[in-house]
Amino acid sequence: MKRVQSSALSILSGILLFSAWPAMLPSIFALTIFFAFIPLLFIADALQKRNHFFFHAFITLLIWNATTTWWIWNSTDVGSIAAIIANALLMCIPWLGYFIFKNKYGKKIGYISLISFWMLFEYIHLNWQLSWPWLTLGNVFASNTNLIQWYEYTGVSGGSLWILLVNILLFELTQKAEGKRQKLKGIVAGFVLITPMIISFFIYPPILTLTKKTNNNVLIVQPNIDPYQKFNVQSINEQIKTLVSLSENNIDSTTQLVIWPETAMAANVSIDQVAHALIYQPIFDFINHHPNIVLLSGIETNKNYGTEKITSTAQRYTDGSFHDDYNAAITIQSNQQSQFYFKSKLVPGVETLPSFLNFMAPVFEKFGGTVGGYAKDSAAVAFKTVSNPYITAPIICYESIYGEYVTEYVKKGANILTIITNDGWWGNTPGHKQHLQYARLRAIETRRYVARSANTGISAVIDEKGNILQTQPWDKAAVIKYNIPVLTEQTFYVKHGDYLFKLFSLIGIILIVWNLFLVLKKKMLK
């Protein structure tokens, strides 16, 4: 294969991956994901040198990353370039592993290694300190939920496996074979491609227990506050007035839950002073006037430790005292103590700096990242409040892209997923649209309604099948009022989590160990 041909194929593969991704092109283009990797598989067959294949794989994966996540530039310019390049390089690792194993052990082992190494990569990328699972393959069907109702059994890992299998099987159809064998290949490829779609169309949620009340009303508030101004002390009073006014003017006697977005309470008052802070009194007055209502809000807050550095995340004030900062959620209810949850899945480089990158702290700080970062909770928390049917899952922004983590809220009793977010950092780009679509995946996996409050939009109500029932558009102050039922059954995925990721990760590790054993054995025999 000539260099021009291989370069064209690597570019084509990147373009196909881009066209499939949610919020980039019309949702029907998601089907291009089923042959998006075929050009890269052709390149792997044609090239002999590892570094040549690595280069072409990098081009493909860089195009995919850059064209689908370019919008992070709006919040951090240099940081976005570094993140896009780094993620593309990490994605090359499982493909390089495939190339090595295919050439060393043959195509069958090569295909098994590709699936296993990619699933291992995605699982690691969900769980390590530089986690960035935005481009997990199974996310691609977020705008086509009619195809993936079976995610209640597998989560997005099932989608990743499906995509890899179909790409490999369709690629095999392009390879010369005897008539009967080629026909068999076609049958298998068609079966693997079509069967999950058919299953999805026949799946209905299990019989779920509903709390049959007519007053299960939720009010979702979208204040539309400029995220780059919202932490300005002079404007916080006005922000609170906006939030209270939108809530007061739209509640009625049936309203039981009001949801405000991430960091709606932005004064960064110490946790033990929130209820007494003068700046927040209009909020507590509003709730005390409506004792049947629970307010769930995002809040910027902190804990002060005095002169002792109690936690590893504690930072020093200018007066010498130590404190932890939190991106948190709070429930406020009349005559009840507030509950807090501290965001656990923090955005790498923006909200937290991985410990192994501490030496790069000055660089992160210079380009808009964080040095000390936020402190966090060790686990998910479900908010249960007095005389209120809703047990809420206070999912804060970035946390909503972690399927298995969201199931922890449900295991702890959450009967509604409440996603609070501030997607305004990215402007009116595909970023906030993709984030909304990913919430549909969490609804299917858990079979829970989603109530999504986004500062600048898009706020939404999503049912347990992933259908978006109501939204408020970007860049508009608005509310959504909706009767959301209480659902209590736990899906197979809630109970068992990312078992497919774990299974194929184990296979990938076994393949790596087996290869190392053979390499060492060969060296010892020399």
Residue 508 lies in a domain: yes
Percent of the chain whose predicted confidence (pLDDT) is above 70: 93
The DSSP bridge partners found for residue 450 are 417, 462
Terminal CA-to-CA distance of the chain, rounded, Å? 36
- Report yes or no: 307 and 320 within 8 Å, Cβ to Cβ: yes
Residue 321 lies in a domain: no
Residue 133's closest CA among 99, 90, 93? 90
Single-letter code of the amino acid located at 16: L
Determine the structural domain holding residue 385 and report its residue range: 217-299+330-490
Least confident of 213-217, 404-408, 420-424, 438-442: 213-217
Q: Which tens digit of pLDDT belongs to each residue from 71-121?
A: 988 877 788 899 999 999 999 999 999 999 999 999 999 999 999 999 999
* Same domain membership, residue 109 and residue 28: yes
pLDDT at 506: 98
pLDDT at 497: 96
Separation between Cα atoms, residue 283 and residue 450, nearest integer Å: 24
pLDDT at 96: 97
* Same domain membership, residue 265 and residue 179: no
The DSSP bridge partners found for residue 471 are 460
Strands (E) in 206-293, as ranges, are 217-222, 255-259, 265-270
pLDDT at 371: 46
Residue 158's closest CA among 140, 132, 133? 140
Residue 315 lies in a domain: no
Mean pLDDT of the chain: 91
Confidence of residue 276 (pLDDT cuts 50, 70, 90): very high
Greater confidence, 140 or 425?
140
* Same domain membership, residue 238 and residue 117: no
* Same domain membership, residue 226 and residue 130: no
> Measured at the alpha carbon of residue 502, what is the angle toward residues 123 and 393, in degrees to the nearest 5?
65
Query: How far apart, in Å, are the Cα atoms of 363 and each of 71, 82, 128, 369?
Result: 21, 11, 21, 8
Residue 87's closest CA among 30, 41, 40, 128? 128
Greater confidence, 12 or 216?
12
Spell out the alpha helix ranges (H) of 334-488: 361-366, 403-411, 430-446
Phi/psi for 425 (5° steps) reads -60, -30
DSSP state of 210: B
- Once rounded to an integer, what is the mean pLDDT over residues 42-66? 96
Greater confidence, 77 or 222?
222
* Same domain membership, residue 505 and residue 375: no
Separation between Cα atoms, residue 345 and residue 132, nearest integer Å: 10
**Residue 119 neighbours by CB under 8 Å, 6+ apart:** 157, 160, 161, 164, 500, 501, 504, 505, 508
DSSP state of 472: E
- Ramachandran class of 416: left when φ > 0, alpha when ψ lies in -120 to 50, beta otherwise: beta
How many distinct structural domains can be found in the chain?
2
Greater confidence, 318 or 298?
298
Separation between Cα atoms, residue 240 and residue 227, nearest integer Å: 14
- Once rounded to an integer, what is the mean pLDDT over residues 299-320? 87
Helix pair angle (107-127, 499-525), 10° resolution = 120
pLDDT at residue 238 tops 70: yes
Residue 74 lies in a domain: yes
- Once rounded to an integer, what is the mean pLDDT over residues 279-287? 96
* Same domain membership, residue 475 and residue 379: yes
* Same domain membership, residue 38 and residue 15: yes
pLDDT at 427: 87
Confidence of residue 521 (pLDDT cuts 50, 70, 90): confident
Least confident of 5-19, 305-319, 405-419, 499-513: 305-319
Separation between Cα atoms, residue 128 and residue 346, nearest integer Å: 11
Phi/psi for 309 (5° steps) reads -85, 90
Q: Which tens digit of pLDDT belongs to each residue from 321-350?
A: 899 999 999 999 999 999 999 999 988 877
* Same domain membership, residue 168 and residue 274: no
At which residue do the structure tokens 């009619």 appear? 146
pLDDT at residue 50 tops 60: yes
Q: Which tens digit of pLDDT belongs to each residue from 164-209?
A: 999 999 999 998 877 888 899 999 999 999 999 999 999 875 555 4
Gyration radius of the chain's alpha carbons: 25
* Same domain membership, residue 345 and residue 459: yes
pLDDT at 410: 97
Residue 307 lies in a domain: no
Report residue 400 as tokens.
Answer: 């909503």
**Residue 41 neighbours by CB under 8 Å, 6+ apart:** 167, 168, 171
CATH number at residue 443: 3.60.110.10
| Exposure letters 207-221 (e unless 16+ CB within 10 A, then b) | eeeeeeeeebbbbbb
| Exposure letters 480-497 (e unless 16+ CB within 10 A, then b) | bbbebbbbebebebbeeb
Dihedral angle computed from the Cα positions of residues 176, 178, 181 and 182, in that order, rounded to the nearest 10 degrees: 40
Q: Which tens digit of pLDDT belongs to each residue from 126-169?
A: 999 899 999 999 999 999 999 999 999 999 999 999 999 999 99
pLDDT at 358: 57
Residue 450 lies in a domain: yes
pLDDT at residue 12 tops 60: yes
Phi/psi for 483 (5° steps) reads -80, 105
Separation between Cα atoms, residue 461 and residue 478, nearest integer Å: 14
pLDDT at residue 365 tops 60: no
Residue 211's closest CA among 388, 331, 393, 445? 388
Residue 308 lies in a domain: no
Residue 317 lies in a domain: no
Report residue 155 as tokens.
Answer: 């989560």
* Same domain membership, residue 130 and residue 93: yes
- Report yes or no: 96 and 104 within 8 Å, Cβ to Cβ: no
* Same domain membership, residue 403 and residue 293: yes
Q: Which tens digit of pLDDT belongs to each residue from 207-218?
A: 554 444 445 699
pLDDT at 475: 93
Cis bond upstream, residue 15 (ω within 30): no
* Same domain membership, residue 236 and residue 98: no
Model confidence pTM above 0.75: yes
Spell out the alpha helix ranges (H) of 289-360: none
